[in-house]
């Protein structure tokens, strides 16, 4: 109950007190692992899950919890092995098949992930957790229509399910239906404040940074490469300026398409992000686009070289990674 309310410290304290009376109890150890994982401490949680497996090697729940923590630690192969053991021990349990699907998904092995999710659905075709697991597999695999169908089927069973509402918002975001995505996230945050933090509401800023990083990482070197051929090709300078203009306009249009419909909410949530990295990235991206525009107009070397330097700074600012797609669908 305490963990469901987001009071992870108190839940951990109660479980550790219970373990003083019942040391080595596999259920308490697995519960402790789950609480630590939900609290964002997967490394500590894995220690507890390993202890649960050691205490009761034949219990599928311990192996499933261990797999969840390995997924959180991005150890996909080990997670698949642990989830596979849980399936072997309890083949008729839908939850272990869902864990196996998530483990395969962590390794981007979409076929087995889809098969495991469908196996979970075979036990109960109307299961909301199983439908949402399949939806997440399809979304990550790039099959957005299939993901939307599975999500809508889940919401038909439980219209207020936070995991389903989250996935709808996420699919809207990926289609750049920004206003719809932000509206869904705001409503979800109002109904479930403990399950959705400011990082999720700041996704337009992160999305723009990610898009600018990818676009400029290709566009600026392309402009530079074309410009360097001017020694052998007389028209290279003109082509380089034209490419610079196109890249800059595309980047500005993309940023406007995301940030303008998003409104002020993402900026209000900026404090929930690693501010130094985000601000550095925004300044570097803006500077690079500005220098590309300047080069497109003037054709001078200096703004192009400054654009190259700004892109390098932008790539370094991408060292941080913030996950905003981790709301539990369970």
Q: What is the pLDDT of residues 207-231, one digit of tens each?
A: 888 889 999 999 999 999 999 998 8
pLDDT score of 319 = 45
pLDDT digits (tens, 9 = 90+) for 122-133: 999 999 999 999
Among 102, 118, 85, 103, CA closest to 163 = 102
Asked if residue 325 has pLDDT above 60, the reply is no
The DSSP code sequence of 130-193 is HHHHHHHHHHHTT-HHHHHHHHHHHHHH-TT-HHHHHHHHHHHHHTT-HHHHHHHHHHHHHH-T
- The backbone torsions φ and ψ at residue 6, rounded to the nearest 5 degrees and listed phi first, read 80, 10
pLDDT digits (tens, 9 = 90+) for 91-150: 999 999 999 999 999 999 999 999 999 999 999 999 999 999 999 999 999 999 999 999
CB 141 within 8 A of CB 164: no
Q: Cα–Cα distances in Å, from 288 out to 84, 96, 221, 282, 308? A: 48, 48, 12, 10, 7
How far apart are the two ends of the chain, measured CA to CA in Å? 15
The DSSP code sequence of 65-130 is HHHHHHHHTT-HHHHHHHHHHHHHH-TT-HHHHHHHHHHHHHTT-HHHHHHHHHHHHHH-TT-HHH
Query: Measured between alpha carbons, how far is 83 from 63 in angstroms, rounded to an integer?
Result: 6
Query: Measured between alpha carbons, how far is 238 from 43 in angstroms, rounded to an integer?
Result: 55
276 three-state secondary structure = helix
Q: Which residue has the higher pLDDT, 198 or 283?
A: 283
Which residue shows structure tokens 């839940």?
11
Which residue shows structure tokens 């439908």?
131
The proportion of the chain whose per-residue pLDDT surpasses 90, expressed as a percent, equals: 59
Asked if residue 88 has pLDDT above 90, the reply is yes
Asked if residue 4 has pLDDT above 60, the reply is no
Which residue shows structure tokens 């699919």?
171
């Amino acid at each position: 109950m305490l963990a469901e309310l987001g009071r992870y410290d108190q839940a951990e304290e109660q479980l550790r007190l219970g373990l003083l009376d019942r040391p080595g109890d596999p259920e308490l150890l697995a519960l402790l692992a789950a609480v630590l994982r939900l609290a964002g401490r997967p490394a500590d949680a894995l220690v507890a899950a390993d202890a649960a497996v050691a205490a009761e090697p034949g219990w599928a729940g311990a192996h499933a919890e261990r797999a969840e923590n390995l997924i959180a630690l991005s150890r996909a192969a080990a997670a698949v092995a642990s989830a596979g053991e849980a399936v072997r021990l309890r083949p008729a349990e839908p939850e272990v098949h869902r864990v196996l699907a998530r483990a395969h998904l962590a390794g981007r092995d979409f076929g087995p992930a889809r098969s495991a999710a469908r196996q979970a659905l075979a036990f109960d075709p109307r299961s909301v957790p199983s439908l949402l697991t399949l939806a997440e597999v399809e979304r990550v695999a790039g099959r957005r229509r299939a993901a939307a169908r599975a999500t809508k089927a889940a919401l038909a069973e439980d219209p207020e399910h936070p995991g389903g509402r989250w996935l709808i918002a996420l699919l809207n975001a990926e289609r750049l239906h920004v206003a719809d995505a932000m509206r869904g996230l705001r409503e979800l945050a109002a109904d479930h404040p403990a399950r959705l933090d400011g990082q999720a509401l700041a996704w337009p800023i992160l999305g723009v940074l990610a898009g600018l990083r990818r676009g400029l990482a290709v566009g600026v070197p392309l402009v530079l490469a074309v410009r360097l051929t001017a020694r052998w090709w007389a028209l290279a300078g003109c082509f380089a300026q034209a490419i610079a203009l196109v890249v800059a306009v595309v980047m500005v249009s993309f940023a406007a398409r995301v940030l303008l419909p998003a409104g002020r909410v993402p900026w209000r949530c900026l404090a929930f992000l690693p501010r130094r990295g985000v601000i550095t990235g925004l300044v570097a991206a803006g500077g690079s686009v500005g220098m590309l525009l300047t080069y497109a107009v003037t054709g001078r070397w200096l703004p192009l070289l400054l654009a190259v330097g700004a892109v390098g700074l932008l790539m370094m600012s991408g060292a941080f990674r913030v996950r905003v797609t981790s709301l539990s669908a369970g």
